[in-house]
Structure 1
Amino acid sequence: MNFWSADRRPGPSVPRDRVESAQPGIDDGDAGGWRSEFQHDHDRLLFSTPVRRLSDKTQVWPMDENDGVRTRLTHSHEVANLARSIGSNIATQRPDLFGADLHKVIQPILSAIGLAHDLGNPPFGHQGEAAIGNWFKKRSGWIFDLDGPDGKQLDDIVPHYVRTEFTKFDGNPQTFRLITRLQTHRDYLGLDLTAATLSAALKYPVSANSAVEDHPVFGKCGYFESERDVVNWMRERVGIAEKERHPLTWIMEACDDIAYSILDVDDVMKKKIISPDDVLVILQHDERSKDHPAVEKITRKFKEIHDLKRSPQVARDIKIGMLRAYLISALIEDVAKTFLASSDAVMAKTHAEAILDENLLCDALKDIARQHAFAHPSVLKMEALGAEALDELMSFFWDAISKRKKPDDFDSKRTTAMAKYGWSLVSPNYIEAAKLSQQNTGPSSGVRYRELRLLTDMVSGMTDSFALNLWNEVRSLPK
């Protein structure tokens, strides 16, 4: 077992030394080996196009005019920062626990997976995931096994056990696909990340076929059949099997929970929907949080701010910063403490409960976010608009993909003017990935599976603005 395997997948073309760069321009200048393989991983992610796209993907507030409100990009940077901090906290208390160098291995892997964890999310966040899944559900009577709504049965139907990859579409396996398949690479290796980083990035370590309904860790599909070969290779290197998690994945998941519980509330205050004093009062009266030391400390600090007699606007901003700092500090300590208490099970790969699952302060904060952020009319309105846009765009791109003269040839001539236009918009690297998947074994090699995978690749890769602008353009075209 080697949690920290720095192996990278072998490419089909030119053999290469592991020290040499696989992607010139990103890793050049490291001939002296002053960066570890895992620091290379982080930098490859940081400079990648999907990370930049996160700046126009929804965290909570879609396309908000307030530039102080978080996007998926700022959220991901914060998760990466929190993960690095918590990893350092744990390693400082238990230097022997991980059996790997903190600065060259643990910190860069945590930073990398924190940065990558939301890359596969479609436009409009979780509502976008639901919209994609609903599109498939509405067509489940034919899309998986017939050549049309009233058509003939396909030779290579999509097996039932993988259909939930589409009807329950989730951004997590799309993330894994994005970093291992969809980014252009000389040897078709995506971002060519190490086995250890890929393993730690796999939040749900199960396929659609082995997911366990309502399970906290195995309840969602974590990788698609199209990436099963990559997962098998990775697991052989790190010694982690199906339904086993890499130790650092627990930390990344906890940091995502901290961000959702505290930083989404921070945005609510930034937008002046509720005040920091409102948040404090809620926490003081909630049975789950009222006696927490952090709440008591914030109460004292708020009184000190009142005594300073600063202007109300300045005092408000100071209080927001204090709330954020003290609450983050409290949950970082809680995560480190819980992780260390569960470390034997975590390192033995038998742990099965999220680190913050029973954290009362975190639960209280999540309820504030649900009530004042996710349920806000402006959020719900934009989510409804986004869902309608994605539904129509899915149909538009399905026509572009499927309406061709030769069913077995993705490059075959399109049969309608609208399909020709739509096909011209599909990313060439996504098309290349769909064609290359024919070399796989199992359901991911079938034409229909590859068509559906190409459809979800295209739509999930869009930013919020691109999706809305293209939707408006498509609606204006004559039918």
Structure 2
Amino acid sequence: MQLAPYACDPKDSRGRLVPEAESPMRSCFQRDRDRVIHSTAFRRLKHKTQVFVSHEGDHYRTRLTHSLEVAQIARTIARALGLNEDLAEALALAHDLGHPPFGHAGEEALNACLAEFGSFDHNEQTFRVLTRLERRYAAFDGLNLTWEMLEGIVKHNGPLTGPHASAKAIAHGVPATIALADAAWPLDLAGFASAEAQVAALSDDIAYNNHDLDDGLRAGLFTVADLGDVPLAGPVFAEVLRRYPGLEVSRVIHEAVRRMINLMVADVLAESRLRLAGAGSAADIRQRASPVIAFSAAMRENEIGLKRFLFQHMYRHDRVNQTMAEAKALVRDLFLWHFARPDLLPPEWAREFSGGDPRQRARGVADYIAGMTDKFALETHRRMRDEGSVVSEKS
């Protein structure tokens, strides 16, 4: 497939921090994708929660299935726009590697635990995983990914500095790990990411909005009838019910959700083609004053309305709130126990973080817990709770 002039061409990549010989069989972005797929962090996504905890059912999304769905949408959009499909796919597969167990509940708990020592953010944690915590290769820590991959990861929510900095970056500043990396190998934090990275970010929005809607309906948190006034969802479900009267509910849900995804993707393609007009290179994309991959204004309003509905009826549902409160308490316990007793960490972790610097120890404990799956966190908490008297005596 011939790349558009504004696509990221592998031959023009800015390379890797630790130089490596190029592969005769794969482009640099294909190698990035393959390194992500073969990483330990990627395998762990199978047992990390999207919204529901794993023991509630086998058919709800996990971080792994979500990442695969994002990658499928990203490949579709990238190919239609003449972008580098391998880079878009690699970024989509990598974007959630930093999520701790129990999704956003785990993230909020670790952020609270680190309040005295810094902060915890899953985007920064993804960067830590890719540049430090994966230890598989003899010559370097991390995966030694290309500059374009790392740039796309750090700018998942937009620029981190300058006049176009995202609201999140303005509120919280540049995360410490990313700031240190940028000082050693500048990542152009004030510019927008590549069009491929923007595709991966917007594909993330399309996937989780539609699939959270799917999971919420199947879990009985709300019903199809509740969607009547929800932008986009209401009309689409109504059309499916009109066209297929008497269709079983599970098939109604699937038919409607796939139509919503198609409508969103078609809208992104139409709007992005308008915004990409006149772009002559990947550098042009980074220098723009706004993203080139985007929804139309009308679809953006639809998406905001859908998010509002999901926030009220799913993310703040009593069942979900109860489960998430329990998850936060569990993660907090794990942090406090391991911080007080670093000797409880696996030997390779204990050797590195058992010193006297509390900030370094806190960061190490957070890294260890963030790498846990839901199942491992539950099992570790159960074991440590049962040994509570021993922990207490030695604390």
TM-score where L is the length of structure 2: 0.83
Q: Which of 215, 220, 226 is the matching residue for 1:272?
A: 220
Match of 1:251 in 2: 199
Q: Residues 217 and 352 of structure 1 are in contact (CA less than 8 Å); yes or no, is this contact kept in structure 2?
A: no
- Residues 447, 389 of structure 1: CA spacing in aligned structure 2 closer, same or farther, 3 A cutoff? same
- Residue 220 of structure 1: how far off its partner (Å): 6.3
| Structure 2 residue aligned with 1:386 | 327
Distance 1:35 1:214 in 2: 34
**Which residue does 1:375 correspond to in 2?**
316
**Counterpart of 1:467?**
377
Partners of 1:364 and 1:90 in 2: CA distance: 27
Distance 2:296 2:374 in 1: 31
Deviation at residue 267 of structure 1 after TM alignment:
0.5
Number of the residue aligned with 1:84: 75
State the distance in 2 between where 1:362 and 1:204 align.
16
Q: State yes or no: 1:453 paired with 2:359.
A: no
Q: Does 1:9 align with 2:9?
A: no
One-letter code aligned to 1:183? E
**In structure 1, how many angstroms separate the alpha carbons of the residues matched to 2:242 and 2:158?**
47
Alpha carbons of structure 1 residues 466 and 118: separation in structure 2 relative to 1, 3 Å: same
- Compute the TM-score of the two structures, normalised by the length of structure 1: 0.69
State whether residues 45 and 115 of structure 1, in contact with CA within 8 Å, keep that contact through their aligned partners in structure 2: yes
1:190 aligns with 2:142: yes
| Counterpart amino acid of residue 57 in structure 1 | K
Question: Could you tell me whether the CA contact under 8 Å between 1:199 and 1:234 is conserved in 2?
Answer: no
Q: Deviations over 1:380-427 (max 9, x none)?
A: 1111111111111111111233xxxxxxxxxxxxxxxxxx3x13x265
CA gap 1:220/1:196 in 2 versus in 1, 3 angstroms: farther
User: 336, 343, 364: which one pairs with 1:395?
Assistant: 336
Once the two structures are TM-superposed, the CA of residue 177 in structure 1 deviates from its matched residue by 0.8
Structure 2: 5+ residue runs without aligned partners? 1-5
Do the aligned partners of 2:18 and 2:140 also contact (CA within 8 Å) in 1? no
Distance 2:140 2:347 in 1: 18
Q: 1:36/1:55 Cα in 2 relative to 1: closer, same or farther (>3 Å)?
A: same
Identify if the C-alpha distance between structure 1 residues 368 and 342 changes in structure 2 by more than 3 Å, giving closer, same or farther: same
The residue that corresponds to 1:218 in the other structure is 169
Deviation at 1:339, TM superposition (A): 2.7
1:340 equivalenced with 2:273 (yes/no):
yes
For residue 245 of structure 1, report the CA deviation from its aligned partner.
2.4
| Aligned residue identity for 1:107 | E
Q: CA deviation at 1:42?
A: 0.9
Count of residues paired in the alignment? 370
Structure 1 residues 329 and 131 mapped into 2: Cα distance closer, same or farther (>3 Å)? same
Tell which deviates more after alignment, 333-342 or 348-357. Answer: 348-357
Alpha-carbon distance, 1:52 to partner: 1.3
Aligned to 2:242: 303
Alignment of 1:108-187 (within 5 A): 108-137=86-115, 140=116, 144=117, 163=118, 166=119, 169-184=120-135, 185-187=137-139
Q: Secondary structure at the match of 2:56?
A: coil
Partner of 1:319: 252
Q: 2-side partners of 1:468 and 1:181: how far apart?
A: 26
Q: Is the 8 A contact 2:49 2:103 kept in 1?
A: yes
Partner Cα separation in structure 1 for residue 339 and residue 73 of structure 2? 40
Equivalent residue, structure 1, for 2:47: 56
Tell me the amino acid that sits aligned with residue 33 of structure 2. Answer: H
Deviations 1:226-267 (A, max 9, x none): 4545435554xxxx5222221222222211111232110010
8 Å contact from structure 2 (residues 267, 296) kept in 1: no
Quick check: 338-347 or 73-82, which moved more?
Answer: 338-347
User: What root-mean-square deviation, in Å, do the aligned CA atoms of Structure 1 and Structure 2 show?
Assistant: 3.2
Change in Cα spacing, 1:234 to 1:302, as seen in structure 2 (3 Å) is farther
CA shift, 1:301, in A, is 3.2
Larger Cα-atom Rg: 1
Mapped to 2, the partners of 1:225 and 1:431 lie a distance apart of 23
Deviation, 1:192, is 2.0
Q: Residue 342 of structure 1 aligns to a residue in which SS? A: helix
Q: Displacement, 1:273?
A: 3.2
| Alignment partners' CA distance in 1, 2:270 and 2:27 | 29
Cα deviation 1:103-153 (Å, max 9, x = unaligned): xxx11111111111111111111121211121233xx3xxx5xxxxxxxxx
Aligned with residue 242 of structure 1, among 179, 189, 209: 189
Deviation of residue 274 (structure 1)? 3.0
**Alpha carbons of 1:353 and 1:111: their partners in 2 closer, same or farther (altered >3 Å)?**
closer
8 Å Cα contact 1:257/1:356 also seen in 2: no
Q: Which residue identity is paired with 2:269?
A: A
Q: In the alignment, residue 59 of structure 1 is paired with which amino acid? A: Q
CA distance in 2, matches of 1:57, 1:340: 36
* Matches of 1:232 and 1:181, distance apart in 2: 16
Q: 1:110 to 1:354 in 2, by over 3 A?
A: closer
Segments of 5+ residues of structure 1 without an aligned counterpart are 20-32, 92-101, 145-162, 284-288, 402-419, 439-445
Amino acid at match of 1:117: H
CA distance in 1, matches of 2:202, 2:305: 15
- C-alpha separation in 1, matches of 2:22 and 2:67: 28
Q: How many angstroms apart in 1 are the aligned matches of 2:330 and 2:385? A: 10
Q: Which residue of 2 aligns with 1:94?
A: none
Question: Counterparts of 1:389 and 1:179 in 2: how far apart (Å)?
Answer: 26
Q: Percent identity?
A: 27
Structure 1 residues 220, 259: closer, same or farther in 2, change over 3 A? farther
8 Å contact from structure 2 (residues 217, 224) kept in 1: yes
